[in-house]
Amino acid sequence: MNYSSRQSEILVIAKVEGKVTVEQLAQRFEVSPQTIRKDLNELCDSRALTRVHGGAIFPRGTENLKYEARRLMAASEKAAIGRAAAALIPDNASLFVNIGTTTEAVGEALSDHSELMVITNNINVANRLRIFPAIEVVIAGGVVRGADGGIVGEAAVDFIRQFKVDFAVIGVSAIDEDGALLDFDYREVKVAQAIIANARHVILVTDASKFTRTAPVRIGHISQVHTFITDFCPIDSVRDICAENDVRLIETARAQADGSADD
């Protein structure tokens, strides 16, 4: 679903504050309560928000947001994470890219690279990069999830296991305080585990919202990755795990703030 600029801003406010009210939003945007109710109804119909009396709340916990709604969440943060990940990947490299809106941002940032081999189970990444002649795209076979264009299942796992690549770029649905990497679909988890096992350098990319969510299926542990790129890591225990296991932590929001301070 394509959201209006006002609806997109409402999503950002709800994410930051947890809840929005019709009265608050009507005053902020200087529109009628009826207009705001229509916006909230559309956002809730797409499951980007959850309706409550007088307003709406940002979904937490195990509810998995629809893919298009998630793509709009923290879009600028994901773009910065994508650029940071792409900067670590040289030309003439081979890499896996798995399913996720943040991994798609990495795909966008890779478009100026040359002589790359990109192996992916993400139809959206394949479709974006296929137009660049300097990038060879190899796509996994298997069951295509209609919700997000992800390719999952045993056929995809077997396909991934044929390769040993320089880098893997992976996303997750949630990160627990103990460093567990979590997802909702056990079929996607199997693919992600195969990707981790068959890459020389694993780059985990995720925005800070993943620290506020939970998911039921365990992919692995953050100690299994080599580089973790996020906009901000708010959990001290995750920072400690990264330090103890030589996982390079890159926080793009902090880097931007330091850069601004230098200007």
Joined together, the tokens standing for residue 116 give 């790359």
My answer on whether 150 and 43 are in the same domain is: no
My answer on whether 129 and 234 are in the same domain is: yes
Cα(244)–Cα(233) distance, integer angstroms: 16
My answer on whether 146 and 215 are in the same domain is: yes
Domain region containing 44: 5-59
My answer on whether 18 and 83 are in the same domain is: no
Is 66 within a domain? no
Number of domains in the chain: 2
Q: Could you tell me the CATH number of the domain that includes residue 54? A: 1.10.10.10
Joined together, the tokens standing for residue 9 give 């801003």
Q: Amino acid identity, residue 104?
A: E
My answer on whether 128 and 235 are in the same domain is: yes
pTM of the model: 0.74
Q: Amino acid identity, residue 142?
A: G
φ/ψ of residue 136, rounded to 5: -90, 125
- For 42-83, give the DSSP string: HHHHTTSSEEETTEEE---BTPPPPHHHHHHTTHHHHHHHHH
Q: What is the residue-level pLDDT of the chain in tens, covering all 263 positions?
A: 578 889 988 988 887 777 889 999 999 999 999 999 999 988 888 778 888 888 888 765 544 556 666 666 778 899 999 999 999 999 999 999 999 999 999 999 999 999 999 999 999 999 999 999 999 999 999 888 877 889 998 999 999 999 999 999 999 999 999 999 999 888 899 999 999 999 999 999 999 989 988 888 999 999 999 999 999 999 999 999 999 999 999 999 876 666 654 54
My answer on whether 124 and 36 are in the same domain is: no
My answer on whether 210 and 125 are in the same domain is: yes
Residue labelled with tokens 């928000």: 49
Q: What is the CA radius of gyration of the chain?
A: 19
Residue labelled with tokens 């959990």: 235
Cβ-contact 237, 203 below 8 angstroms: no
Is 248 within a domain? yes
My answer on whether 43 and 111 are in the same domain is: no
Is 182 within a domain? yes
Cα(11)–Cα(48) distance, integer angstroms: 8
